[in-house]
């Protein structure tokens, strides 16, 4: 295991897909207490936007990357494989705390015919 590994947290790479596409728009690295599950809502705050506003996402896929020293279909040693990284692939979404710039960019994508989901929550709840 790499020396920087902290067993109480896991490093994820949040992969943001372009609206209406499976193409990667951008990615960000985070250390989190648990890996988000498919369907989870994620909000990312950035320093250039006032709190609590930010960019909202819905998790679509979680990809675990692992490595093992064996090349055949079963382990012949007691040495386990190791963790490399985990990708959390997400679609951009409109949420109750989406910044105005985020909302505007997703509304423009909608006007071009892209499917953009809205989180099924209210900030008044």
What pLDDT score does 1 carry? 42
Q: Are strands 55-67 and 10-17 parallel, antiparallel or unpaired?
A: unpaired
- CA of residue 1 relative to chain centroid, distance: 23
3-state secondary structure of 103: helix
What pLDDT score does 5 carry? 53
What pLDDT score does 121 carry? 80
What's the CA gap between 45 and 26, in Å, rounded?
15
Tens digit of pLDDT per residue, the chain (125 long)? 444 555 678 999 999 999 988 899 999 999 999 999 999 999 999 999 999 999 999 999 999 999 988 777 777 777 788 889 999 999 999 999 999 999 999 999 999 999 999 998 866 64
What pLDDT score does 2 carry? 47
Determine the straight-line distance between the first and last CA of the chain, rounded to whole angstroms.
43
The pair of structure tokens assigned to 24 is 């990667």
pTM: 0.83
Q: Are 98 and 121 in contact (CB under 8 A)?
A: no
What's the CA gap between 41 and 63, in Å, rounded?
17
- CA of residue 62 relative to chain centroid, distance: 8
């Amino acid at each position: 295991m790499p020396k920087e590994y902290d067993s109480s947290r896991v490093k994820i790479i949040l992969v943001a897909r372009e609206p209406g596409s499976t193409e990667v728009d951008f990615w960000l690295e985070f250390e989190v207490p648990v890996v988000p599950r498919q369907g989870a809502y994620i909000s990312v705050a950035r320093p250039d936007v006032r709190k609590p506003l930010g960019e909202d996402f819905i998790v679509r896929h979680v990809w675990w990357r692992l490595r093992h020293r064996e090349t055949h279909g079963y382990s012949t040693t007691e040495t386990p494989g190791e963790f490399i990284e985990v990708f959390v692939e997400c679609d951009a979404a409109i949420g109750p705390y989406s910044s105005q710039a985020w909302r505007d960019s997703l509304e423009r994508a909608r006007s071009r015919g892209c499917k953009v989901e809205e989180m099924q929550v209210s900030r008044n709840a």
